[in-house]
Chains A and B, each alone.
Chain A
Amino acid sequence: MTKKKVILAGTAMTVSAVLILAAVQRLLQPKYMSDVVEGNLVADYYNTNYAHDVLFVGDCECYENFSPVTLWEEYGIPSYIRGSAQQLIWQSYYLLEDALRYETPKVVIFNVLSMKYGKPQNEAYNRMSIEGMRWSSSKVNNIKASMTEDESFLSYVFPILRYHSRWSEISSDDFKYYFGVKPNFFGGYYLRADVKPAENVPVGRPLVDYAFADTCWEYLDRMRTLCQESGIQLLLIKAPSLNPYWYDEWEQQITEYSEKYQIPYLNFLKEPILSETGIDFYHDTYDGGLHMNVYGAEKLSHWLGQYLTDNYGLMNRSNEPAMLDEWGTLCHRYHMEYDRQVANLEMYGNIHGPEKTDGTAGSEQTSQTSAEESGKDDTK
């Protein structure tokens, strides 16, 4: 074999291996179009025009409790929720850092529930929070901070190392959405129109230690500093989810922090805000008090929009031509999805639609990886 042939053969082998691997990797990566749709939340951000006045960062208490469409339609405030399931505080920080590479919002709203987690928690949620990020130092640092003991950095660089075993679970979704997923969210909001009243909500059991971990304070400090340096106003909130339980001791720590650094803090579980929002836990949650449904989210957004307008001087931008196109489409999709879910509820008793023969509900509902399923709990 001549030297030229050797180089040619080596290159051909490497290139073909890389190409096939990339193609297989794309096929095996979860598409998150069915049961666990939250996996597409983070990547969805990159489809926007990066012109948001308000950016939410946080976990499900953000992306299921506030509706950017309501904020837009009622107050002309363009906003986006960079949230994902059980998004830990450092993940929120790095997602914020990542977002600031594209835009500088006027207000950043951070939901403080994730202060309760001082350590990496769950591989499946990590994946959903991180994989959608574009590669940057923020993503690298996010991975490093988030990895559980069993995870490897390499498997984030080459997701096939994580998802290779999905070959036995490949569904039609994997082919259907091979070249891209369809938008499922509305400014980072996950719309649910079903209702499940909050009944028998468990009261929090006493904890051994109520102090938030040093890591959480460190990232809250970093978030505060980052906002300060970027000229962004930081607003801390605690969304009105009844479960997981929000302890008074936690409330006290956040309150002290907000007072110390003069950062506004809104706890939607407390009066008079709770009454002002008009939240009815019998009607406004879809899962018994963990998360708001669209009715609750719209009530919260209505209240918050007024608060933001009053306190942060945010202008109504609904007449800006540059915004109309994107928000018009988004609002249209939002209402279509609402109508679809309501119609399904009326016809089939669930938001997804007719039951499939295998027992799963909905036109888009199939199973995801077992790792994700096992990782999904009520406290996302």
Chain B
Amino acid sequence: MLFTDASFIIGLVLLCIVYFLLPKKYRWMLLLCASLLFYACSGIGYLLYIGATTVSTYFTAVTLDKMAAARKDTLAAHKSDWSRDEKKAFKEAANKKRFRLLVLCLVLNFGILAVIKYGAFTMRNLNSLISLFGKENALPVPNFLLPMGISFYTFQTMGYAIDVYREKYAAERNPARLGLFVSFFPQLIQGPISRYDELSKGLFAGNGFDPQRVMFGTQRILWGYYKKMVLADRILPAVTTLIGDPGQYSGAYAFLGVLYYTLELYADFTGGIDITIGIGQVLGIPIAENFNKPFFSKNITEYWQRWHITLNTWFKDYLFYPISVCKPMLNFSKWSREKFGKTVGKYAPVYAATLAVWLLTGLWHGAAWNFIVWGLMNAVIILISERLTPLYNRFHKKYAWSNTRAWDGFMAIRTTLMMGFLRMFDCYRDVPLTFKMFGTIFTKWNLSAYFDGSLLKLGISAADYFVLFCGVLILFGVSLKGRKGSVRQQIYNASPVLSCALTVALFLVVVIFGAYGIGYDSSQFIYNQF
């Protein structure tokens, strides 16, 4: 079931009505039922996967909690009769046991994800290797259907297990409540990847009906539908045409594909997240923001702080830092310092951790070499960019014009284009083709395609272009306005009546100008596949 399905929209309205009619203490149970129903709609068998993750994480977290409590009790009991070394040894032994349990949980759950998502990819590559020795298709290639949102809920749940291990907060003792945290329906489709301590506050509070909050939530939902249905789904046929036939659509067309796909991906992904956050807001459940005007970023590092924020912070908190300070990495740092000098010793662990994180970020996005190369190229650009930071600083000091808004705009466009070029790995079927298509942008000068009416033969009409042009202008205007804080709040402060009128207008715009129904191939949310 998609956010754009009529059954989802009707179900959501009914859910909201029932939610506010129920006594507060039962509201989270309604959400749990709705979430399970929503998930079951994608395939009742998939409940087994999410159920396995919930149950295994529940028992792991509760046991980790109990072990931590037992450790504290023992240490308290031996506060005076154990020496410092004895306490340290006991603590280390207890933590080791807890760590093993955590690792078991991580291996189990990431194992499920790995087998389902990466099993076929791994087998295909192993078969390619084995074929070098003359044996074709030596290993069977599994064909698993990907349960909806498995990457999202696995990462979110493992984040919770790690936090409990780190004793950031206590484990949830009610398995049904943990089940709701894992399966909360608005964020199952494409995230964001929430943290338990943040999400649970709203999830179990049974919030009251606050008209202004409900209206703001509704506006956010409508804004999400606007992005998804008016922009992303409208430009989709052109994107499909442009990337579907690389032989015909190279050079200027490939560049156009970069721009169109950038718009489609942004509108699709952020639109879905807006709907998710809006639903949360209506229900009084704050959900983490996942985007912060990424196309205003002046460099790639900043871009990744503004795009898919929750995934990147997840990798930072649960992978980058632990890798950077783990014992083997410290040993590697020491070894490289001794072998290659101070500078290398200083940067080697950071580089290694960055490459590892981006390798996994690439893999998270898909089981294909395209994504791996995409991830590593991000890492390389980020690392080069960081190494060149002193040079940039000197440049900005020397040339005053490089500190102007115009220069910032140039940097933002440059970053957006660079990210667009990197995203070409998303579009084309393999790495060599992606590089080839990238090359044609600079070598094939078929710019006439922009002026000879060819753009109207890509599956979208002049009317579609008109809607897209106006739609993007509105999007840009709202983003600019949003730099000063919540646009909805600004409008409401200016005039509550205007706020109400804009809600109605936005609804009408989505209904009339949305690309849906017969004649449109309404697409899945792109990140639904993760």
Contacts and interface: CB of A to CB of B under 8 A. Distances in A.
B190 to A, nearest CB: 24
B504 A164 contact: no
Interface in B471-530: 496, 500-501, 503-504, 507-508, 511-520
B211 interface: yes
Contacts of B520: 165
B514 A164 contact: yes
A174 B430 CA distance: 49
Given A13-B500, A21-B511, A154-B6, A165 B211 contact: no
Interface residues of B, number: 22
A13 B504 contact: yes
B496 A1 contact: yes
A167 B496 CA distance: 30
Contact of A165 (B212, B503, B519): B519
B463 interface: yes
Contacts of B512: 24, 28, 160, 164, 167
B125 interface: no
B518 A162 contact: yes
Contacts of A13: 500, 503-504
Contacts of B313: none
A152 B6 contact: yes
Contact of A161 (B500, B501, B504, B517): B517
A152 B519 CA distance: 13
B463 A168 contact: yes
B389 interface: no
A20 B500 contact: no
Nearest to A3: B211
Nearest to A14: B504
Interface in A136-184: 150-152, 154-155, 160-162, 164-165, 167-168
A35 interface: no
The CB with the most chain A CB atoms within 10 A, among B211, B513, B516, B520, is that of: B211
B518 A10 contact: no
Contacts of B515: 165
B461 interface: yes
Nearest to B6: A154
A209 to B, nearest CB: 29
Q: How large is the interface on A (under 10, 10 to 19, 20 to 34, 35 or more residues)?
A: 20 to 34
Given A9-B500, A152-B6, A165 B517 contact: yes
B21 to A, nearest CB: 16
A211 interface: no
Contacts of A168: 461, 463
Nearest to B512: A164
A16 interface: yes
Contacts of B517: 152, 155, 161-162, 164-165
A269 B461 CA distance: 47
B504 A160 contact: no
B219 to A, nearest CB: 11
- State the main secondary structure of chain A at its contact with B: helix
A375 to B, nearest CB: 10
A6 B211 CA distance: 7
A152 B515 CA distance: 15
Contacts of A160: 511-512
A12 B6 CA distance: 24
B519 A24 contact: no
Given A150-B518, A165-B517, A20 B508 contact: yes
A370 interface: yes
Given A1-B496, A6-B211, A168-B461, A371 B518 contact: yes
A213 interface: no
Nearest to A155: B517
A28 B517 CA distance: 15
A20 B511 CA distance: 11
Contact of B518 (A12, A123, A154): A123
A10 B215 CA distance: 9
Contact of A1 (B212, B507, B513): B212
Contacts of B504: 13, 16-17, 20
Interface in B1-40: 6
A98 B463 CA distance: 40
A165 B237 CA distance: 15
Contact of B500 (A12, A21, A167, A371): A12
Contacts of A123: 518
A168 B461 CA distance: 10
B70 to A, nearest CB: 52
Interface string B274-317: 00000000000000000000000000000000000000000000
Contacts of A155: 517-518
Contacts of A150: 518
A108 B35 CA distance: 52
Contacts of A151: 518
Interface in A255-302: none
Nearest to B463: A168
A21 B496 contact: no
Nearest to A18: B504
A17 B513 CA distance: 15
A20 B508 CA distance: 8
Given A6-B211, A164-B513, A168-B461, A17 B518 contact: no
A109 B6 CA distance: 40
Contacts of A24: 508, 512
B515 to A, nearest CB: 8
A164 B511 contact: yes
15 contacts: A6-B211, A16-B501, A17-B504, A20-B508, A21-B511, A24-B508, A154-B6, A160-B511, A162-B517, A162-B518, A164-B511, A164-B513, A165-B520, A167-B463, A370-B519
Interface of A: 1, 6, 9-10, 12-13, 16-17, 20-21, 24, 28, 123, 150-152, 154-155, 160-162, 164-165, 167-168, 370-371
Given A20-B508, A160-B512, A161-B516, 11 more contacts: A17-B504, A17-B507, A24-B512, A164-B511, A164-B514, A164-B517, A165-B515, A165-B520, A167-B513, A168-B461, A370-B519
